[in-house]
Amino acid sequence: MTIKLLLADDHPMVRRGLQVFLATQSDIQLVGEAASGREAIEKAEALQPDIILMDLKMPVLGGIEATRKLKQSHPDIKVIVLTSFSDQDHVIPAIRAGARGYLLKDIEPEELVRAVRRVYQGHVELHSEAAGLLMSMVAEPDSLPVDAPAASGRGLGLLDTLTPREREVLKLIAQGKSNKEIGESLFITEKTVKTHVSHLLDKLGLTDRTQAAILAVKQGMIE
């Protein structure tokens, strides 16, 4: 197994440091570098990496918008945000844009490599501060962004429209399970899981798994 990785950061020193360290990892291949969000999208199209390490503050196109565009055009490419910002204005939009990981640049190199491997395997990796923000969103409705479905009531009361299987899938999403793990838990294929996820998001009027997870927790589906 070799993980193809694209590095997107506008600071040459950061790219150089990561390049040197990643070269020591036999199962990770650095296939390219980008200095802007737009270049990251172009390189992703050409190189088809498995993982993109994405900075947020970059010229031309920022990391959040680049992540959103990549999610639409290349849903199989997993984005891990690697940034210096851990506030709600950065964490929540990045996750809602489709990032599968949110890490800070003070992370230890060995921890970064472990995170890359876990995201490649289908897990979600969040820095403790990012995870804390998500927990606060669930525990304190007033802390949700004003346009979030769980805060505005959008999607509430629609759980009854879900089939029993869709409710099972939603509950597992709220537990942080990947599609592969959900499939293994319910003894169905990953393709079938994706179909259920798409249907339940449509029924609830949501756009991503994070919103679905928040809604499920707020509705008491997770103890």
- CATH code of the domain covering residue 209: 1.10.10.10
CA distance 156 to 218: 9
Confidence of residue 122 (pLDDT cuts 50, 70, 90): confident
pLDDT of residue 140: 58
CB contact at 8 A, 103 and 79: no
Would the pLDDT of 8 be above 80? Answer: yes
The verdict on residue 52 lying in a domain is yes
Half-sphere exposure of 98 (CA within 13 A, CB side): 21
Q: How far is CA 146 from CA 14, 95, 137, 174, in A?
A: 35, 16, 11, 21
Same domain, 158 and 60: no
Shared-domain flag, residues 119 and 34: yes
pLDDT band at 148 (very low <50, low <70, confident <90, very high): very low
pLDDT for 206? 80
Determine which of 101-105, 124-128, 208-212 has the lowest per-residue pLDDT on average. 208-212
Adjacent-strand bridge partners of 50: none
The pLDDT, as a whole number, for residue 215 is 80
Cβ proximity of 6 and 52 under 8 Å = yes
Same domain, 22 and 123: yes
Max mean pLDDT among 46-55, 78-87, 103-112 falls in: 46-55
Name, in order, each residue with C-beta under 8 angstroms of 70's C-beta and a sequence gap of 6 or more.
40, 41, 44, 52, 77, 79, 98
Examine the domain organization and report whether 24 and 70 are in the same domain. yes
Same domain flag for 129 and 164: no
The pLDDT value given to residue 19: 92
61: in domain: yes
Q: Supply the range of the domain harboring residue 194.
A: 143-218
Lowest mean pLDDT among 34-43, 80-89, 144-153, 157-166: 144-153
Residue type, 118: R
Supply the pLDDT for residue 207: 76
What pLDDT is stored for residue 131 in this prediction? Answer: 78
Whether 177 is in a domain gets the answer: yes
Helix axes 63-73 and 37-47, enclosed angle (nearest 10): 30
Q: Are residues 182 and 125 in the same domain?
A: no
Last residue of a domain, one of 102, 135, 168: 135
What are the tens digits of pLDDT across the range 112-121? 999 999 999 9
Residues 91 and 196 reside in one and the same domain? no
Share of the chain above pLDDT 90, in %: 52
pLDDT band at 149; cut points 50, 70, 90: very low
Contact 144, 137 (CB under 8 A): yes
Average of per-residue pLDDT values in the chain: 85
Average pLDDT for 194-212: 85
Please say which residue of 135, 161, 193 terminates a domain: 135
Angle subtended by helix axes 179-186 and 190-204, to nearest 10: 110
pLDDT of amino acid 138: 60
Total number of domains constituting the chain: 2
Instruction: Mark whether 39 and 111 lie in a shared domain.
Output: yes
pLDDT-derived band at 157, boundaries 50, 70, 90: low
Q: Are residues 42 and 129 in the same domain?
A: yes
Please tell me whether residues 45 and 112 are part of one structural domain: yes
Return the H-helix or E-strand segment holding 104: strand 101-104
At 154 the pLDDT is 47
Domain match, 198 and 131 both:
no
How does residue 139 score in pLDDT terms, banded at 50, 70 and 90?
A: low
